[in-house]
Amino acid sequence: MAPALIIACGALARELTVVIAANGWQHVQVQCLPADLHNRPEKIPDAVREKIRAARARFGRILVAYADCGTGGLLDRVLEEEGVERLPGAHCYEFYAGSPTFAALADAEPGSFYLTDFLVRHFERLVIRELGIERHPELASQYFGNYRRLVYLAQHEDAQLQEQAWQAAARLGLAFEYRFTGYGDLERAVVRFHRDAEGGPVTEQASWQK
């Protein structure tokens, strides 16, 4: 089979690896960009373009495992120029939850701050340290003063991660809500990518769901 590539945000590496391994797609590879680019979204489009151009000669098909991710349409412009598709939605919260569920969450409380499994695991580094809250605790109220709740969109049912997410909400002074989403549209998009690339068989239920 011709090799296929998924260029991914580092925040999705674990989930993508699970989906690929569960389906036995040995010809599908993942290359990740640093997850902390989300704190500097203006750098994402050029970083993705560089990855695409470096990989094009080696791979028959490429998928970009990013949503818009705060690039304001600039990533889509790059992908249109390069002829590559990306995951659906504005950000990973939307494709994990699914667009209808995410829209309902946003309508119910626009002042919602979202975490995924990855962001719970790396909350201290990506939120507290990257935003300077560790050095200047007063910044927390400036960054999160307009938020009312923290919504944890969980990919796995893990009591320890749920407790960590609750503690993160308490630290930011936000109400806490838990939603189990599984992999949502992420898995569906990867399955479609595989079918388009190779037309091979797809496992009906991935191992992480069993």
Residue 194: predicted pLDDT? 86
| Backbone phi and psi for residue 178, each to the nearest 5 degrees, phi listed first | -110, 130
Q: What DSSP string describes the chain?
A: ---EEEEEEGGGHHHHHHHHHHHT-TTEEEEEE-GGGGGSGGGHHHHHHHHHHHHTTT-SEEEEE---TTSTTHHHHHHHHHT-EE-SSSSHHHHHH-HHHHHHHHHH-SSEEEE-HHHHHTHIIIIIITTTTTT-TTHHHHHHTT--EEEEEESS--HHHHHHHHHHHHHHT-EEEEEE-TTHHHHHHHHHHHHHHH-----SS-GGG-
Pairing status of strand 61-65 against strand 85-86: parallel
- What are the mean pLDDT values of the chain's consecutive 10-residue runs (210 residues total)? 90 93 92 91 96 94 93 96 90 90 94 96 94 93 95 97 98 96 90 74 38
Residue 198: predicted pLDDT? 66
Beta bridge partners of 63: 6, 85
Beta carbons of 87 and 67 less than 8 angstroms apart: yes
Residue 200: predicted pLDDT? 43
Pairing status of strand 112-115 against strand 149-154: parallel
Domains (ranges, CATH) in the chain? Answer: 4-91+185-209 (3.40.50), 99-180 (no CATH)
Model confidence, pTM: 0.84
Shortest CA distance to 207 belongs to which of 20, 65, 30, 26? 20
